[in-house]
Amino acid sequence: MRIVVTGPAEAATPLVAAALAARLRARYLDTAELYPARVRPGGPTLGEVWLEALALAFTRERALVASSGSLSRARRDLIRARVPGVVFVELVVDDQAAPPRRSRWRRAKPVERPAIEPLAGDEPGVRIADDADLASIVDRIAQLLSGAGQDQPVRDQSLR
């Protein structure tokens, strides 16, 4: 089981990923911790070091759920090339509906974020609306992932 939970900052991806890992009895990894403090001039870039560390983490653990901020299609492609069988879970936040549903585990203020490249139909994974409490979101993810394999396309859940 190789899962990367992605989404904007206000989706609390580390919390959702940690809860999903607990539910699936897997290890949890916050990928923000993979960035080195610095890199050598002329050496690999921060992104290359991060990708190498992520690939290594997935090879060392049989069951791992990692959290990440929003990832571009190009970055997801690089991860898939290095981590066979990885499945992405994209948390989708509705900007109009988010404030009334905001709870203690989400950020108090929405942050500006870059344009998000949603999972495409040819990518293995699921898109989940961040529109409920943590337990409900994790339940929906676990249910959808039970049928999401490496060769299965993205499935949307509760997206309007």
Is residue 145 predicted with pLDDT exceeding 70?
Answer: yes
pLDDT value, residue 104: 47
Is residue 106 predicted with pLDDT exceeding 80?
Answer: no
The CATH number corresponding to 2-157 among 3.40.50.2300, 3.90.550.10, 3.40.50.300, 3.90.1300.10 equals 3.40.50.300
Q: How far apart are CA 110 and CA 133, in angstroms?
A: 17
Burial (Cβ within 10 Å: 0-12, 13-18, ≥19) of residue 6? buried
pLDDT value, residue 35: 76
Is residue 66 predicted with pLDDT exceeding 80?
Answer: yes
In which band, very low, low, confident or very high, does the pLDDT at 88 lie, cut at 50, 70 and 90?
Answer: very high
In which band, very low, low, confident or very high, does the pLDDT at 114 lie, cut at 50, 70 and 90?
Answer: low
Cβ count near 97 (within 10 Å)? 12
Taking the domains of the chain in order of start, what are their residue ranges?
2-157
pLDDT value, residue 101: 39
pLDDT tens for 117-142 read 888 888 988 898 888 889 999 999 99
Let me know how many helices (H) and strands (E) the chain has, helices first. 5, 6
